[in-house]
Amino acid sequence: MKVLIEPAGRIKGRLTAPGDKSISHRAAILAAMADEPVLITNYLEAGDPISTLSAIEQLGALVERRSEGLMIRGVGLRNAQTPTQPIDVGNAGTLIRLLPGWLAGQQGSSFQLDGDESIRRRPIDRIAVPLTLMGAQIEATDKRFAPFTVEGARLHGIDYELPVASAQVKSCIALAALIAEGPTTITEIDASRDHTERLLLSAGVKISRLGGELTIYPADELTLPDRIEIPSDPSSAAFAIAAAVLVPGSRLLVEDCSVNWTRSGFIKIAKRMGAVIITDLEERPKDGAITQAEPLSDIDVTAGPLKPTTVSAREVPLAVDELPLIALMACFAEGQTRIEGAAELRLKESDRIAAVVTALSDLGAEAETSEDGLIINGRGSLRGGRVDAGRDHRIAMLGVIAGLASQEGVEVVGVEAAAVSYPDFLADIAALQ
């Protein structure tokens, strides 16, 4: 499906962004691992988290849709059922990287996982290596891709230094640690999103962090709260925020959004570029200690001029899904913006470094790839043209926001990809004009 996005007069109004994708995946998987029922409210009913619901149903969990939310009845930590069919994760990278952590410890059972064409191109050796060190048996295509098989085994705790700052890998190991013998310590070079840690703390798991060292102890069972409320997704909100920053005369209020410090890199970078954003971001705890609740705040955005910036490697994991928007905003700032240490972007739903450079160049911007990131030479405006989403939800939404802020409009091809994380995206954006 294609849409023609005309330049917007202004962005004005209030937005409640949809439920957080990362937390939805985690809440559903952990509810499946629990013994007692859990009611999840504001679950993100979008392509990716729906794949997670199907997966946990195949593993024996019961998922009941109620008016107030999803009631999930789990099977317990060690009782996942063996599915009769391979688990199809669709497009969901978080699902295919987290779930094996749980499955690896299901002794005597075997699980096959597969996904769409994009999933088959994304490496899973980053989880297969630590899980194998814990005692799991994983047979992957060419040793690093889906489809792959996980043979449940007796696991033992490990000390593992993450080679990349990846919340998916960290979370996978943390799930396996719950059913391993002895504690597991994960060392993070740079911080990444911490939703798994917060949820495990809320489930009574013994888990602690000191600086970059996260230690997880085995558990007999998970005792999650009866009710988990999924906060609004800051990565989804970021699209409307970028539109409001870029379209002159705009004023947007994003209500009750997650401002978890591990997710607020985009707002910090945007503010450094000069964006007028008023919000109450959670502060990074000094000792690295884990806090339990997900913090919320309104985010008040006013359009204004931007200046270029340099995004460093340490900032990348805290803004990883929003970097395409930083690149777009950089087109409107006069001068050079550099995004460094972002090679991980090549391993997303598409090669997002190449996809962003192609999309922005096609719209008339001066954008190029660097060794491990992007360089944008901003000129203060963007002409417009055509963007092909290439089945990547975030590139589809990037094209729409570029269109609103452009001089001549943007035709977005494959805009339906947005449904993977934000099914009401076009309607929400239309309501703000």
Minimum Å gap between C-beta 122 and ligand S3P is 9
Residue at shortest CB range from ligand S3P? 22
- Residue of 34, 128, 167, 238 that binds ligand S3P (CB under 6 A): 167
Residue 236 in the binding site for ligand S3P (CB under 6 A): no
Q: In this chain, which of 193, 209, 352, 393 binds ligand S3P, going by CB under 6 A?
A: 193
Q: Which is nearer to ligand S3P, 11 or 311 (CB)?
A: 311
C-alpha pair distances (Å), 124 with each of 160, 182, 197, 410: 16, 25, 21, 35
Report residue 126 CA to chain centroid gap. 17
| The pair of three-digit structure tokens given for residue 127, joined into one six-digit string | 């989880």
Judged by CB under 6 A, the residue of 233, 294, 315, 344 near ligand S3P is: 344
Q: In angstroms, rounded to a whole number, what is the distance separating the alpha carbons of residues 426 and 424?
A: 6
Could you tell me if residue 109 is left (phi over 0), alpha (psi between -120 and 50 degrees) or otherwise beta? beta
CB 359 within 8 A of CB 387: yes
Least gap, CB of 358 to ligand S3P (angstroms) = 20
Contact 96, 114 (CB under 8 A): no
Contact window for ligand S3P (CB under 6 A) among 161-169, 202-210, 304-312, 325-333: 161-169
Exposure on the CB side of residue 264, measured as CA atoms within 13 A = 22
Contact call for residues 234 and 265 (beta carbons, < 8 A): no
- Pairing relationship of beta strands 184-187 and 213-216 according to DSSP bridges: antiparallel
Q: How many residues bind ligand S3P (CB under 6 A)?
A: 10
Known active-site residue 362 = no
Q: Is 168 in the site for ligand S3P (CB under 6 A)?
A: yes
Q: Out of 197, 233, 321, 362, name the contact with ligand S3P by CB under 6 A.
A: 321
Cβ distance to ligand S3P smaller for residue 92 or 150: 92
Q: Is residue 315 a contact point for ligand S3P (CB under 6 A)? A: no
Beta carbons of 327 and 374 less than 8 angstroms apart = yes
Q: C-beta of 344: minimal distance to ligand S3P in Å?
A: 6
Identify which of residues 75 and 165 has a Cβ nearer to ligand S3P in the complex. 165
320 binds ligand S3P (CB under 6 A): yes
Binding mask 21-50 for ligand S3P (x = CB under 6 A): -x----------------------------
Give the C-alpha separation, 188 to 379, whole Å.
38
Nearer to ligand S3P, 188 or 321 (CB): 321
| Minimum CB distance to ligand S3P, residue 321 (Å) | 5
In what helix (H) or strand (E) does residue 30 lie, and over which residues does it extend?
Answer: helix 21-33
254 near ligand S3P (CB under 6 A): no
Q: Is 263 in the site for ligand S3P (CB under 6 A)?
A: no
Rank residues 153 and 203 by Cβ distance to ligand S3P and give the closer one: 203
Helix, strand, coil % (nearest 5) of the chain?
A: 35, 25, 40
Alpha-helical runs (H) found in 74-166:
93-103, 125-133
Q: Which two tokens stand for residue 325?
A: 């928007």
Nearest-approach distance from CB 320 to ligand S3P, in angstroms: 5
CB 420 → ligand S3P: shortest distance, Å?
Answer: 10
Which residue in 48, 233, 321, 428 is the catalytic one? 321
- Residue 91 touches ligand S3P, criterion: CB under 6 A: no
Centre a 10 Å sphere on the Cβ of residue 236 and count the other Cβ atoms it contains.
29
DSSP character at residue 120: G
**Minimum distance of ligand S3P from residue 51's CB (angstroms):** 13
H runs (alpha helix) in 154-246: 167-178, 195-202, 234-246
Active site amino acids: 321
Residues that bind ligand S3P (CB under 6 A): 22, 94, 166-168, 171, 193, 320-321, 344
